[in-house]
Structure 1
């Protein structure tokens, strides 16, 4: 049997970028440590429960929506860089050095109402996070705790985690699982927006989660004729969405498209492989926003696009640039604190991002929104050269392995 190059490349590259994330890391600890940050989040999931200690929920598709209240302790700033998730090396984890759960409690409807009154009511803001491909339940929880901490914004955190297989071999399973979860995410967005304790909602989605988020918002628009007014920001980070399909989704969303911000990177290796699997169709998260046709298409819908190319994400694939960039996360956090829309923002937003993104002007990204272009991502030429060399060696090693495995 002849092995298909795009699929094998997908496996090899994503194994390199996504390996090493521990499982079963959500065993609650009672110990505390000075200087830690506490993230008190609501977690809604369409996954099946797991009997494995520390896993809580697995990768199966549940027949109903389950809700938990999870409190995560984030280690002190002195031992963690912004953008970094430090997983427990063993259980129980050490709160002085690692991300650990201090509370995991299933919630019924009354419990959910109490959580909103306790956590959301004082802040009046909620941020909903939807993770992407190849995420376990515990990985999604700890990653969102990192994002929420580094945002430094007073917004009640709500995580929606869908049944990703948590494996680089499960791309198609994950795609179907995302589709399986559309109605549930739609219900979450609708219920959060209708909650009297909430005045403002931001929807943040990464990678394949961007597809799920757009489908849920599209369904809301079709079902009710509009998108909830409280949903002020829709942030798509490295969205794994067909570029043409995205614009058909916008047709249903209408003027709410002006609330959308997209983080892109032309050197996103994961989306490059996704494009090949999808028959060489352009992925939204990897578009070149300097192209006049792309630029005009986005600006005509009032969409803000920010180019994070030449970043240096922890996954080695430039697919996690958004969460790994403390400057970018803080810039957006300040915007939300000010009560402003990210997309359709004043020119000062992209100017601020350009000034703070990695602090130098040796490489240039781009931002478009409200007719503004500004540098937003910088990496030294030497680092870019090392990255190209690393990718070249990966490709050579892959081809050698392929020849050995197939005898061709």
Structure 2
């Protein structure tokens, strides 16, 4: 059963070409992207940062060298673990990552900077999770076309801007971080599903409480595959402790419904942030022969609303929020805008309700976001 009844949207050949060219130009704006040198530890000297975020990472990427926190695009059989203390510059602007300009060293006064780091193992990670028993840890699963440092610093930005209290953990899979590598990235994401399922199981049982999961784009595909794996392994107790939010998930709608048929209704409904004007997902749809992507569903559609209620999930259209770039794929980066709009007394629905909702940025018709259930999903 699909979320839509009209079948796949078929674009004309000329429109397909136009969309691909436009999106390629938009997405390639990340030219000059940061290299692994940005992960080098920076001495602070006399400078005292006002904010330092402690982040943990679990990755199916291989290490460039044993004992070093530099990660490649190669897959590893056993996950690698690390921790990073990232200082946030006093000039930080919400939704932005302040990278050093090309040819310039990292300066903690103006740039995100790693000020200390450690190589960890599984036991050390779980010990860190146990230490923070007052707040649910947050696992961030990045999307397509990300290198390791980009995903790590994106988590630092989300943590800083949202003020979430839980321990932030990055799950990084071996994306090639290249626009033409969409198919290869999909394979790498799928390769990593067992590792993500194991991580979520470990964290739930280590903490003996809830774990929040925030996934973006292709990371949504990986996350749902991990949820399906947990159900097939009979780990319903783990699923009952997970609170999942997906932003712009890059999943074919028919595949998604098949996944949900296995996963079943979760104790806390999966929340999906969608935008029909998402240009990156338009390209993904073209690569999938015109198939509808879940992150671009129309929440106004009666079929979508009915399916959301039937499967026990929450779909929220956030397209009324101002986009931070021309792809309309990254609205969730600006968590301050999202939180300011969603956390309003005038809300008529909460993200814990199953169904489809359209966020009216002016009227504030739904409540709460990336604080990732820190308040919202806890209402259930």
TM-score w.r.t. the length of structure 1 is 0.76
Q: CA deviation at 1:19?
A: 3.2
C-alpha deviation, 1:198, in angstroms? 5.0
From 48, 56, 63, give the equivalent of 1:42.
56
Which residue of structure 2 lines up, in the alignment, with residue 72 of structure 1? 86
- Post-superposition offset of 1:289: 0.6
Is the partner of 1:96 in helix, strand or coil?
coil
CA RMSD of aligned residues (A): 3.0
1:361 alignment counterpart: none
Q: Does residue 1:95 correspond to 2:79, yes or no?
A: no
Say if 1:220 and 1:227, in contact at 8 Å, map to a contact too.
no
Q: Distance in 2 between matches of 1:7 and 1:55?
A: 35
1:15 to 17, 28, 39: 28
CA contact (8 A) 1:243 1:282 kept: yes
- Aligned-partner Cα distance in 2 for 1:370–1:173: 34
- The aligned counterpart of 2:75 is 61
Q: In the TM superposition, what whole-angstrom CA distance separates every residue of 1:339-369 from its partner, at most 9, and x where no partner exists?
A: xxxxxxxx9695599xxxxxxxxxxxxx994
CA distance in 1, matches of 2:153, 2:166: 17
Q: Which residue of 2 aligns with 1:268?
A: 278
Q: Which residue of 2 aligns with 1:108?
A: 121
* Counterpart position of 1:216: 226
Given the alignment of the two structures, is residue 168 of structure 1 paired with residue 152 of structure 2, yes or no? no
Q: Does 1:130 align with 2:146?
A: no
- Indicate the residue corresponding to 1:243 in structure 2: 253
Deviates more, 1:159-168 or 1:33-42: 33-42
SS of residue matched to 1:170: helix
Distance change (3 Å), C-alpha of 1:31 and 1:349: farther
Q: Please give the alpha-carbon distance, in whole angstroms, between the structure 2 residues aligned to 1:327 and 1:165.
A: 31
Equivalent residue number for residue 157 of structure 1:
168
Equivalent position SS for 1:86: coil
What CA distance in whole angstroms lies between the structure 2 residues aligned with 1:115 and 1:248?
Answer: 36
8 Å Cα contact 1:267/1:310 also seen in 2: no
Which whole-Å CA distance do the structure 2 matches of 1:313 and 1:12 have between them? 17
Question: Which sections of structure 2, spanning at least 5 residues, go unmatched?
Answer: 1-15, 363-380
User: Do the aligned partners of 1:150 and 1:330 also contact (CA within 8 Å) in 2?
Assistant: no
Q: Deviations over 1:207-234 (max 9, x none)?
A: 0000000000110011115251563411
Deviates more, 1:203-212 or 1:100-109: 100-109
The TM-score with structure 2 as length reference comes to 0.82
Q: How many residues align?
A: 344
- Alpha-carbon distance change, 102 to 127 in structure 1, aligned in 2, over 3 angstroms: same
Match of residue 384 from structure 1: none
- Residue 306 (structure 2) pairs with residue 296 (structure 1): yes
| C-alpha separation in 2, matches of 1:148 and 1:376 | 25
Name the SS of the counterpart of 1:42 in structure 2. strand
**Residue 324 of structure 1, CA deviation:** 2.3
How far apart, in 2, do the equivalents of 1:192 and 1:297 lie? 31
Shift of 1:370: 4.9
Deviates more, 1:311-320 or 1:79-88: 311-320
Q: Which has the higher contact order (CA 8 A, sep 6+)?
A: 2
- 1:222-272 deviations in Å (ceiling 9; x for gaps): 111525156341101000001111111111111217521001011100001
